[in-house]
């Protein structure tokens, strides 16, 4: 190896150090809960929550997956207007609870779950009014919905992403009792919204400043010249 080739090789090695490392796939998970088991989201009462956006300083956002998980329950309710305790039987509520999570005006940014449950039949004695009494309740199997929005722009930034949660319920109710006993139902919901940000993170090694790079090349040149001279001396002695 002659001196010129050695210097070129060492200079190329210094240049390689300044190149960024390979990209690696990563996932950032953010989640928020609406309501709770002890304080569920009221029906027809939208709630606005927020999730952190993806900070592009972490890398390049390549995909977004959003999952809504809803835990719904329903109750069979008896309204007693007799003015005294009254017996009833077969109190049943068949209800569907629908939950939506909206991230924007586009239909592609809306998640929807829908679950149906049956509470009843229940037989008991309605307490003395006023107010309705719960005959019994039933849980609806966990409902989930997942979307992969195509517009990643709304998820990028350093702020918060608003999410509007709403729930409503419809059903049919039945039961047997006196003429002043009425049967109905109430729906409840709580759950979580999870956003998974998929992105490519790239480890970048700082590029040396021009002065530092020149100094490194100079040192490489000196080392190369010295090595070449020793190589020549060794060769002449042989």
- Please tell me which residue, 227 or 22, carries the higher pLDDT value: 22
Q: Please give the pLDDT value at position 103.
A: 84
- pLDDT reading at 105 higher than 80: no
Q: What pLDDT score was predicted for residue 210? A: 57
Q: Is the pLDDT of residue 89 over 60?
A: yes
Rounded distance between C-alpha atoms, residue 125 and residue 174, angstroms: 16
Q: What number of other Cβ atoms are within 10 A of residue 140's Cβ?
A: 23
Q: Report the pLDDT value the prediction gives residue 17, as an integer from 0 to 100.
A: 46
Residue showing tokens 């190589």: 231
Residue 166: pLDDT above 50? yes
DSSP 8-state code for residue 152? -
In Å, how far from its chain's centre is CA 104? 15
Lowest-confidence region among 80-94, 156-170, 218-232: 218-232
Laid out side by side, the sheet with 60-80 consists of 23-34, 181-202, 60-80, 133-147
Average pLDDT over residues 180-205: 88
80: tokens are 């007693």
Structure confidence at residue 2 as a pLDDT band (50, 70, 90)? low
What does the DSSP assignment read for 164-219? Answer: EEEEEEEEEEEEEE-TTEEEEEEEEEEEEEEEEEEEEEE--PPPPPHHHHHHHHHH
Please give the average per-residue pLDDT across 112-121, as a whole number. Answer: 96
DSSP state letter for 3: H
When comparing pLDDT for 10 and 186, which is higher?
186
Identify which has the larger pLDDT, 80 or 203. Answer: 80
Residues whose CB is less than 8 angstroms from the CB of residue 191 and which lie 6 or more positions away in sequence, other chains included: 33, 34, 35, 68, 69, 70, 71, 99
Residue 109 vs residue 66, higher pLDDT: 66
- At 63 the pLDDT is 94
Encoding tokens for residue 225?
A: 């010249």
Mean pLDDT of the chain: 82
Contacts of 109 (CB under 8 A, 6+ apart): 102, 103, 147, 149, 151, 154
For residues 93-106, give the mean pLDDT.
89
At residue 46, φ and ψ (nearest 5 deg) are -60, 145
Residue 225 has pLDDT above 50, yes or no: no
Q: What is the pLDDT of residue 192?
A: 96
What's the token pair of residue 26?
A: 């990563």
- Banded model confidence at residue 205, pLDDT cuts 50, 70, 90: low
Q: Per-residue pLDDT for 108 more than 60?
A: yes
Q: In the prediction, which pLDDT does 178 show? A: 86
Would you say residue 217 has pLDDT above 90? Answer: no
Cα separation, 136 vs 75, whole angstroms: 6
DSSP H or E segment with residue 233: helix 210-237
């Amino acid at each position: 190896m002659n001196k010129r080739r050695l210097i070129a090789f060492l200079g190329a090695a210094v240049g390689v150090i300044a190149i960024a490392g390979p990209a690696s796939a990563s996932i950032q998970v953010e989640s928020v809960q609406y309501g709770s088991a002890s304080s569920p989201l009221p029906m027809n009462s939208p709630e606005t929550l927020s999730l952190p956006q993806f900070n592009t300083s972490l890398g390049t956002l390549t995909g977004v997956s959003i999952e809504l998980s809803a835990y719904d329950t329903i109750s069979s309710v008896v309204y007693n207007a007799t003015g005294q305790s009254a017996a009833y039987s077969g109190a049943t509520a068949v209800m569907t609870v629908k939950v939506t999570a909206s991230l924007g005006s586009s239909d592609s940014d809306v998640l929807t779950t829908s679950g149906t449950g049956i509470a009843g039949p229940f037989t008991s004695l309605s307490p003395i009014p006023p107010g309705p009494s719960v005959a019994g309740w039933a849980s609806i199997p966990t409902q989930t919905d997942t979307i992969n929005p195509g517009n990643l722009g709304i998820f990028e930034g350093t702020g918060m992403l608003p999410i509007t949660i709403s729930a409503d319920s419809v059903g049919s109710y039945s039961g047997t009792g006196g003429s002043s006993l009425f049967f109905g139902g109430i729906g409840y919901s709580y759950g979580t919204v999870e956003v998974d940000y998929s992105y490519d993170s790239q480890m970048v090694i700082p590029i040396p400043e021009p002065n530092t790079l020149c100094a490194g090349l100079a040192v490489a040149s000196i080392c190369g010249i010295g090595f070449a001279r020793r190589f020549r001396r060794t060769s002449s002695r042989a």
